[in-house]
Structure 1
Amino acid sequence: MAPAIPTAMERPHFIGIGGAGMSGIAKILAQRGAKVAGSDAKESGTAEALRALGATVHIGHAAEHLAADASSVVVSSAIRADNPELVRAAELDIPVVHRSDALAALMGGLRAIAVAGTHGKTTTTSMLAVALTELGLDPSYAIGGDLAGPGTNARHGEGDIFVAEADESDRSFQKYDPEVAIVLNVELDHHANYASMDEIYDSFETFVGKVVPGGTLVISADQAGAVELTRRVRDLSSLKVVTYGADEHADVRVHKVTPRGLTSEVTVLLGGKYLTFTVSVPGRHYALNAVAALAAGVALGIPAHNLASALGKYTGVKRRLQLKGEAAGVQVIDSYAHHPTEMTADLEAMRAAAADSRLLVVFQPHLFSRTQELGTEMGRALALADASVVLDIYPAREDPIPGVTSALIIDAAGTAGADVTAVHDKATVPDVIAGMARPGDLVLTMGAGDVTDLGPEILARLS
């Protein structure tokens, strides 16, 4: 039986309903029986999926799209104050609800697992969703990306578990009260909202402090930021801390990660026993995500050997080293990586998976603020590729910053010895790659913006 829908969520209107986070909440509400409406900037498969669930989706933003009887207007931090639908909401005195508050309301009364960290949230949340579903526990879940199997980012389940990706970028993850919190890593990112690592730590401490009494924190024993956070929260008497990783003192210790082509075999030491299972995506970082998922499930009381077997059913998330296809002997793979740590991890994973292949990268920087702070590190990461094409910065929600361009990355890459080409016209990339690639190469489209659209175009050009 579906939990009761809060009054404010009975007839919600979502501004930007097609976004990864917003669409998931809208889908669950529609599945629970709410009368969902919203708008988005452009038509998409997500908009069609929402309509199939009974939602009304308008394309474009206009005041008349907001119905006068809407019970609330749901927004993310990306929605600007001058959005005509938001302005109209104020005129009609309709309550405005942040996306995180809407998600928190959906989790009410359920056993929540909230997955946080600078990197790896979507993958780990997805692994848990797939494994718990495989075990017949019928969880609800809200993820920042579409699962490769079910092809959706959210679902209302009849079980008592809710798995949610917890976004630290705007501190919205502080709204949740999980039974289990996962912290994969803690690094400085989202520079428009955080000025220092101390602010990051403070934010994560608040998130951890919201774990329900008697609940569990599952946290990395290897990553420096996570280790520091563990030190800071150890004195929370109502919190059980479970560490995982290769560190010899980890509660769930990673004994070995063995690459098997585009998969990995993972062996962990848990409760004095060794347990081996398969992760169907390449790279040590994804293997560690799976171990975090395993530890979280065990914290909920699920037998480890059952979970390990179910995790092997996970087949990936769209945009997380997703194979888009092959043409003329060239494989094209898509990566969402946009932070230097993520970029390095995915590039190293591809190197390990196909050691004898040339690796060509099409990288699109995401956000001016991130490029300003981390452009040098992005350039160094690209040195792991045999050759790279770097596009102009994808602005997303930001206005340009004077002097901040892709040249910051290209200059750093050149200094690191990388072979890098600047391409300002995205439409020319398929021709550029076709001129560079030869049979046996791997092409990786990388970034959090619309660089993902280039994969099919490159394949078509290669064909």
Structure 2
Amino acid sequence: MNINQIHSVYFIGIGGVGMSALARYFHANNKQVSGYDKTPTEITKGLTNLGIEIHFQDNLDLVNLESLNKATTLIVYTPAIPKTHTELNYFINQEYQVMKRSQVLGLITQNTFCFAVAGTHGKTTTTSILAHLLYSCNVPLTAFLGGFSENYQSNYITNGTEVTVVEADEFDRSFLTLSPNLACITSMDADHLDIYGNSEALSESFKDFASKVKEDGKLFVKNGLTIKGITYGIEDESDYTIQNITIEQGSYVFDVKTPKTTINNIKFNLPGRHNLSNALIALAMAVEYGCPHQQLAKALASYKGVKRRFTYHIKTNNLVYVDDYAHHPEEIKAVYQAVTEMFPKQKNVIVFQPHLFSRTRDFVNEFAESLSLFDEVFLLDIYPAREEPIQGVDSKWLLDKISNPNKKLITKKNIVEEVLKTKASVVLTVGAGDIGAEVEHVKKGLELAG
């Protein structure tokens, strides 16, 4: 399909972060955009404020079918939509042009210079850092982010169309629709085993992605991964490496050694070694593209982060409240590392909402190990997302495996009450489900308690 021939785009699952970025793209390119989602959210509110029509019931009577000419309409859906969805099946049966979000990204990026960020962790932060660096260097780009950039208050950034910046998502092998010019792989830890079955199949998929990089393109890989490419790492012998790290007033200051030179005294405000690594690979890709070093260093210092990626909601001498999207054991360890590096002598408490029954089942021991690191642990019920319950897999099962005795099952209603009992001065709410919707309530409760 030629994107220029499309007049109308209908999204099934328009409220997803990745889907809504695409909706903004097509709206900005003067296409008629409309869609369905399960529930109203801040994201759908932002889209309706643009004039995009959205309804919240799987009901064909609510779809303006007369405006959706089969020859010039594209239907876009997310894999999270169930196969029984009435609207989706109607469009498939009526032989509309129906595509997954990843296929549409492949179409949009194929005639551009494409940057693609792959990896089981760090994709969204790395992509948003990279987009910010390139934008600050006046590169004519369009970026599709898997989260909301604090710098731009959006998941869609554009000042041109020659260059695209995208997350290369391994879920459902989506990233194999891309053919990037510059790509990176940040990590290859086992995940999405409901899709892949085992970690070997996941690794093979990353190798397939690596082979999609264009012949004259470049692939960057975190030092230690089994795929060959330009390496990057922290305080090691990588092609791109961070050296001389210090912490000044809660920010990192460091040097970056590139294959040709050293860039000195770079400042970066996000906590955690995992974020340092994300900053390094974004910087390396921008350097290889040809951006001026000093401009990149200045841009990195002004980077503010992504919503729900170690986002501070309270930061005073007496109390710190952080919300984070972490939903894999390695990501939880990274959050712990960041917390203890920045607030080493303060008591911490984590409120964690497990995401997916299958992920909890597949990594229950690893989750127990990473959660046990914190001073106090509270668990919410598992957020099911697209899944049906699995017998024997619940938060009580996970709780029993946590070795830390300071642990408890709680509900969303009593988060503030339970957290206050701990007298912890560092509070974390963590998870990829709907725990993010509790942030304002938790923040107000903690502030009222003083």
Category of TM-score, reference length = shorter chain? over 0.9
Alignment counterpart, residue 392 of structure 2, candidates 396, 403, 425: 403
Q: Does 1:219 align with 2:221?
A: yes
Shift in Å, 1:306: 2.5
Which residue identity does 2:335 align to in structure 1? D
- 1:419 corresponds to 2:415: no
Q: How does 1:236-251 map to 2 (within 5 A)?
A: 241-246=229-234, 248-251=236-239
Q: 2:193 aligns with which of 173, 191, 194?
A: 191
Q: How far does residue 328 in structure 1 lie from its aligned partner after superposition?
A: 10
1:452 paired with 2:436, answer yes
SS of equivalent to 2:88 = helix
* 2:299 counterpart of 1:301: no
Amino acid at match of 1:446: V
Q: Is the 8 A contact 2:220 2:232 kept in 1?
A: yes
2:26 corresponds to which residue?
Answer: 29
**Structure 2 residue identity aligned to 1:430:** V
Q: 2: distance between equivalents of 1:130 and 1:139?
A: 10
1:155 maps to which residue?
157
Q: Is the 8 A contact 2:326 2:430 kept in 1?
A: yes
Listed as ranges, the matches of 1:40-79 within 5 Å are 40-68=37-65, 69-70=67-68, 71-79=73-81
Gaps of at least 5 residues in structure 2 are: none
Q: Residue 374 of structure 1 is aligned with which of 360, 363, 367?
A: 363
* Structure-1 residue corresponding to 2:226: 228
Cα deviation, 1:68-91, whole Å, max 9, x if unaligned, reads 243122111111111121122134
CA contact (8 A) 1:66 1:88 kept: no
Change (3 A) 1:328 1:270: closer
Contact 2:136 2:295 in 1 (8 A): no
Check the 8 A contact 1:362/1:388 in 2, yes or no: yes
Q: Which runs of 5+ in 1 are unaligned?
A: 231-240
Alpha-carbon offset, residue 159 of structure 1: 4.8
Q: Tell me the equivalent position of 1:139.
A: 141
Kindly tell me: are residues 196 and 99 of structure 1, through their superposed partners in 2, closer, same or farther at Cα, counting changes over 3 Å?
Answer: same
Tell me the residue number matched to 1:334.
323
Which amino acid is 2:386 matched to?
A: R
Report the number of matched residues.
440
The Cα of 1:453 is off from its aligned counterpart by 2.1
**Equivalent residues of 2:235, 2:243 under 8 A apart:** no
Instruction: Give the secondary structure class of the aligned counterpart of 1:228.
Output: coil
Q: CA RMSD in A?
A: 1.8
Structure 1 residues 168 and 125, CA gap change in structure 2 (3 angstroms): same
How far apart, CA to CA, are the structure 2 residues paired with 1:284 and 1:219? 16
Gap change, CA 1:432 and 1:328, over 3 Å in 2: farther
Question: After the TM superposition, which of the residue ranges 277-286 and 267-276 deviates more from structure 2?
Answer: 267-276
Pick from 127, 130, 134 the counterpart of residue 129 of structure 2: 127
Return 357-366 or 92-101, whichever deviates more: 92-101
CA deviation vs aligned residue, 1:322-357 (integer Å, no higher than 9, x gap): 012368943211011110000001111011111121
| 1:323 and 2:318 are equivalent in the alignment | no
Does the 8 Å contact 1:28/1:155 carry over to 2? no
Q: Greater CA deviation, 188-197 or 254-263?
A: 254-263
- Report matched runs for 1:212-291 at 5 Å: 212-222=214-224, 227-230=225-228, 241-246=229-234, 248-275=236-263, 276-291=265-280
Letter paired with 1:170: D
Q: How big is the shift at 1:277?
A: 0.9
Which residue does 1:234 correspond to in 2?
none
1:55, distance to aligned residue in structure 2 (A): 1.9
In the alignment, is the contact (CA less than 8 A) between 1:127 and 1:311 conserved in 2?
yes
**Number of the residue aligned with 1:235:** none
CA contact (8 A) 2:350 2:374 kept: yes
Q: Cα–Cα, structure 1 residues 327 and 352, in superposed 2: closer, same or farther, change >3 Å?
A: closer
TM normalised by structure 1 equals 0.91
Q: Are the structure 2 counterparts of residues 261 and 443 from structure 1 closer, same or farther at C-alpha, using a change threshold of 3 Å?
A: farther
Q: Which residue of 1 aligns with 2:383?
A: 394
Q: Percent identity?
A: 32
Other-structure match for 1:312: 301
Mark the CA change 1:284 to 1:326 in structure 2 (over 3 Å): closer, same or farther. closer
Q: TM-score, normalised by structure 2?
A: 0.93
